[in-house]
Amino acid sequence: MNAPTGFDRARHAVPQLYELLRARIVSLELEPGASLSRPQMALEFGISQTPVREALLKLAEERLVDVFPQSATRVSLIDMAYAQETHFLRRAIELELVREIALMRPPALLARLVALLAQQEALRDAGDFDGFTEADQAFHRSMYQATGKDALWRLVRSRSGHIDRLRRLHLPAAGKLDRIVADHRQVLDAIQAGDALGAQDSLRQHLSGTLEYAETIRKSHPGFFTPG
């Protein structure tokens, strides 16, 4: 049996499997509450159950799966309170990032953000939700990298699975892709103008976009969320 696209048996299995499963969970290919079978995944990827178990434990650390010993493993339900905590953390970090970047205006970063914004526009027009999400994440991560704070990006990412799934549920909503592109353009325009406060205001508006509709999203997909 051939392993799924993107999986290379010649490389260490655990990090690859972790990334592939995480991507399936965050994209909602594996829906909240879905059961995960270690034997089935081992067969799918052509590996033993040991690396499958290790990858699932890494996902459990990020609260993306719930592991029940001697029983089952399931994709975790979306925890709204945890998503809100992560939003608070990310907003606090990125407000300082855009302020620093607007005051410095590093040319290489500005060129990178311009290119990523153009890429997002093309992916929006193509209706490519997965590609659009990757470009969206790259837009934000580039700011962490340019300021030497990639470790903070890894921290935020390790907590972002719940809010990222919330955003993915919201992405098909009418006008959502247009709003993200417009928000990014406002952030970029303020940075290019050296307007630190304007960049912060635009970013604050951008990051609050999905949480404004959180209850509507939950009502549309009640089985995907934890009670309460």
Per cent of the chain over pLDDT 70 is 96
Confidence of residue 209 (pLDDT cuts 50, 70, 90): confident
Question: Could you give the CA distance from residue 87 to residue 207 in angstroms, rounded to a whole number?
Answer: 8
What pLDDT, on the 0 to 100 scale, is given for residue 145? Answer: 97
Question: Could you give the CA distance from residue 198 to residue 190 in angstroms, rounded to a whole number?
Answer: 6
Confidence of residue 7 (pLDDT cuts 50, 70, 90): confident
Question: Could you give the CA distance from residue 167 to residue 225 in angstroms, rounded to a whole number?
Answer: 13
Q: What is the mean pLDDT of the chain?
A: 94
What pLDDT, on the 0 to 100 scale, is given for residue 210? Answer: 87
Q: Which CATH number is associated with domain 13-75?
A: 1.10.10.10
Give me the mean pLDDT over the 190-212 stretch: 95
Exposed / middle / buried, residue 91 (Cβ in 10 Å: 0-12, 13-18, 19+): middle
Give me the mean pLDDT over the 161-187 stretch: 96
What single letter denotes the amino acid at residue 21? L
Confidence of residue 5 (pLDDT cuts 50, 70, 90): low
Confidence of residue 3 (pLDDT cuts 50, 70, 90): low
pLDDT at 216 over 80: yes
pLDDT at 1 over 50: no
Residues in the chain: 228
At 54-90, the pLDDT tens digits run: 999 999 999 999 998 777 899 999 999 999 999 999 9
| 8 Å CB contact between 55 and 21 | yes
Any idea where the domains of the chain sit in the sequence? 13-75, 80-224
pLDDT at 2 over 80: no
Q: How far is CA 31 from the centre of its chain?
A: 15
Question: Could you give the CA distance from residue 185 to residue 117 in angstroms, rounded to a whole number?
Answer: 7
pLDDT at 197 over 80: yes
Question: Could you give the CA distance from residue 187 to residue 102 in angstroms, rounded to a whole number?
Answer: 9
Question: Could you give the CA distance from residue 163 to residue 6 in angstroms, rounded to a whole number?
Answer: 25
Give the dihedral of Cα atoms 146, 147, 152, 156; nearest 10 deg: -60
What pLDDT, on the 0 to 100 scale, is given for residue 4? Answer: 67
Give me the mean pLDDT over the 202-209 stretch: 93
At 113-140, the pLDDT tens digits run: 999 999 999 999 999 999 999 999 999 9
Q: Residue written as tokens 């406060």?
A: 197
**Three-state DSSP state, 228:** coil
| 8 Å CB contact between 66 and 73 | yes
Tokens of 158: 């390790």
Give me the mean pLDDT over the 30-37 stretch: 96
| 8 Å CB contact between 27 and 167 | no
CATH topology of domain 80-224: Four Helix Bundle (Hemerythrin (Met), subunit A) (1.20.120)
